Structure 1
Amino acid sequence: MYLLVSDDYFITSYRINELIDKYPKAEIIRFDLNEDVFKEVLDTLNTFNLFNDKRILIIYNCENITEINNLEKYFNNPNKDNILLMIANNLDERKKITKILKKHLKELDNKVNIDQIIIDKLDDFKRDKKTRDYFINYCNYDNYKIMNELTKLKLYNYDKQIITIEDINKITPKSIDDNIFHLVDYIIKKDKSKSLEIYNNIILYGEEPIKIMIIVANKIRLIYQVKVLLKELTLEEIAKHLNSHIYPIKLAKEISYSYSEQELIEYLTKLSELDIKIKQGQIMADIGFKLFILEL
């Protein structure tokens, strides 16, 4: 019997698929306690399976369980045909349901090592660490996108059994964040022409000006945070502190050397003031952001 505490879709799917791979012949039954009645869950748990040796029962939003006594009775005498996975978005440590779940269930790791997953998935393919790091960065550290694009790369290179940076550039589409990191760099360098060029290109892909502005502000904030935290922490400690992958921290570190803390704060202040003006209807987002660039 297992417990997973996570609101990350990729991690939840990954842990579920691990169980399914472990018991490929098992029947899979899913309940969502935002919609289903817990009595139905208990009835299913206590029903013996006549057709399969094993059943995987996946219970979403288990933090909503109120029939704690009935649940604990089952935990004390579980049906051995069941592989139970209970999933919670989050748990309040003060509540009784949390204590019961953690007492009886084995808690699964709610973090994944994406580097190791790539290594495992590409076990039969030739590749190196430089290519792997490039691929993770190219996918903007989005685990879900990494797994989807990894499948495409394997199919594309099935015959030659090797994946190169050229293959990644050819097969994997660039995300908005890739262009935005370049945009941030040119904004901080005060290169108005290049900044406007990249901004207009992103707009052509259908992105909203307000979304671009928010992501730019988040990138600059990350550079500032890394610059400040580097005084006392290592890159690995900063990544853990900010709950981030190590690679964007490394990129932010490299950029941070070129600019002072005061410069970064000034950009964040200007973007915050622009955000207020847009929300108050004083200026349109597209015009406001272009003026922000032209006034660099």
Structure 2
Amino acid sequence: MTVFDEFNEIKRKGLPQILVIFGESRELVGELKNQLLTEVNFEPTDLSQAYYDLTPSNSDLALEDLESLPFFSDSRLVILENLVNLTTAKKSVLDEKQLKRFENFLDDPPETTQLVLILYGKLDSRLKVVKKLKAKATLLEAQELKSQELIQYFSRISPLPKVVLSLIAAKSNDNFSVMKQNIDLVQTYALGREVTLDDVEKVVPKSLQDNIFALTDLIFKGKIDEARDLVHDLTLQGEDLIKILAILTNSYRLYLQVKLFQAKGWQENQQVAFLKMHPYPVKLANQLVRKLNVKSLKNGLSDLIKLDFDIKTSAADKSYLFDITLIRLTLKKN
């Protein structure tokens, strides 16, 4: 069950008196916040509702709203965003007296007041006020969605077929906000017609993973100049060599596994099930390693693991070490 499934269940039962939406994924917390505002039909001019993105300058007013009885309705909804005192972030918007007022509210919340907290980060469970909050509130933690969960979620709110969403998820590195942007991008490009896989390939920008697959293709084909140019372009775009190395190493590990699967006669769907990963990289890996041998992949993986050790322990420049290994990988004949 994803956090969105949990939220739908909460909405079905009716919002609790105190709801806390929190998590380290700002994108998912933001999405839940938008869904909440839609659910309660939030309107800034509605005197039965109040929303505060907390700062030291508006904290007193927010607490007064929280403590006050409703005047023009039977109940009052107060939404407080960024009450960072409750998180592990070393920041605060409430001073000690204000935090005590908030604790007093938690001790005896008026039945006519509903509170929603929207927090970006982890709750600091060591704090007394957080312990009180956990005892009183319904907690909704926004955790990153796995690939299949992303596809499932967007298939409910998007007309795109799952096979298209699957490719977009892979090209978005299973990032919620990036996937959302890319869905909008391909739908705009398609101008109302059905979106195809070709549309995704044409329109969605290449991810770092896509570029690493392109890099390994150049390596396997012995195209050293093009391989070095691609690495150079990636670093100019702000990608760190350590990150490139990590993905390249994981890619080689996947290639070796897939090559061994091919030797056993395993089909791609069997490989995906065993590896428990997205089908897209498995499909690309099967295409790349078909003409390679196990020995060359083992040697390449060994070289990359050694490079990682050398970068972390050697005084030599990491760009130099990376370049030497790249040349060795590209020129290797077996």
TM-score by length of 2: 0.64
User: In structure 2, do the counterparts of structure 1 residues 174 and 226 end up closer, same or farther at CA, with 3 Å as the change threshold?
Assistant: closer
Query: Deviation of residue 88 (structure 1)?
Result: 4.9
Whether 1:179 aligns to 2:206 is no
Query: How many corresponding residue pairs?
Result: 273
Report what 2:164 is aligned to. 131
CA contact 1:179–1:198 (8 Å) conserved in 2: no
SS in 1 for 2:317: coil
Separation in 2 of the partners of 1:89 and 1:145? 20
1:120 maps to 156
Q: Which amino acid aligns with 2:51?
A: I
Aligned CA distance change for structure 1 residues 267 and 18 (closer, same or farther; 3 Å):
same
Alignment of 1:113-262 (within 5 A): 113-122=149-158, 125=159, 127-160=160-193, 162-184=194-216, 189=220, 191-193=221-223, 196-201=225-230, 203-204=232-233, 207=236, 211-221=240-250, 246-247=277-278, 251=282
* Displacement of 1:5: 3.3
The share of aligned pairs that are identical, in percent, is 15
Q: CA deviation at 1:266?
A: 4.1
1:271 aligns with 2:308: yes
Counterpart of 1:42, as a letter, is: L
Corresponding residue to 1:283 among 297, 308, 317: 317
Single out whichever of 35-44 and 113-122 deviates more from structure 2.
35-44
Between the aligned partners of 2:238 and 2:82, the Cα distance in structure 1 is 40
Q: 1:186, 1:192 within 8 Å by CA — same for their partners in 2?
A: yes
SS at match of 1:25: coil
Deviates more, 1:49-58 or 1:101-110: 49-58
Q: Cα distance 1:74–1:143, how it changes in 2: closer, same or farther (>3 A)?
A: same
Deviations 1:1-56 (CA, angstroms, capped at 9, x unpaired): 222331212111111111112123333633346x5675454223224677897553
Structure 1 portions without partners, runs of 5+: 229-233, 240-245
Cα distance between partner residues in 2 of 1:54 and 1:142: 32
* Residue 59 in structure 1 maps to residue 82 in structure 2: yes
Aligned mates of 2:163, 2:307 — CA distance in 1: 37
- The alpha carbon displacement at 1:79 in A equals 6.8
Residue pair 2:54, 2:80 contacting (<8 A) in 1 also? no
Separation (CA, whole Å) in 2 of partners of 1:31 and 1:108: 19
Q: Which has the larger radius of gyration?
A: 2
Structure 1 residues 167-176 or 46-55, which shifts more?
A: 46-55
**Partner Cα distance (1:227, 1:268) in 2:** 14
SS for the counterpart of 1:44 is helix
What's 1:100 paired with? 132
Distance in 2 between residues matched to 1:93 and 1:248, nearest whole Å: 39
Question: Is the Cα–Cα contact under 8 Å of residues 223 and 253 in structure 1 kept in the other structure?
Answer: no
Aligned partners of 1:23 and 1:92: how far apart in 2?
Answer: 28
Report the counterpart of residue 43 of structure 1 in structure 2: 64
- Superposition TM-score, scaled by structure 1 size: 0.71
Deviations 1:71-125 (A, max 9, x none): 2331322474544124151234343233212111111142343112211221xx3
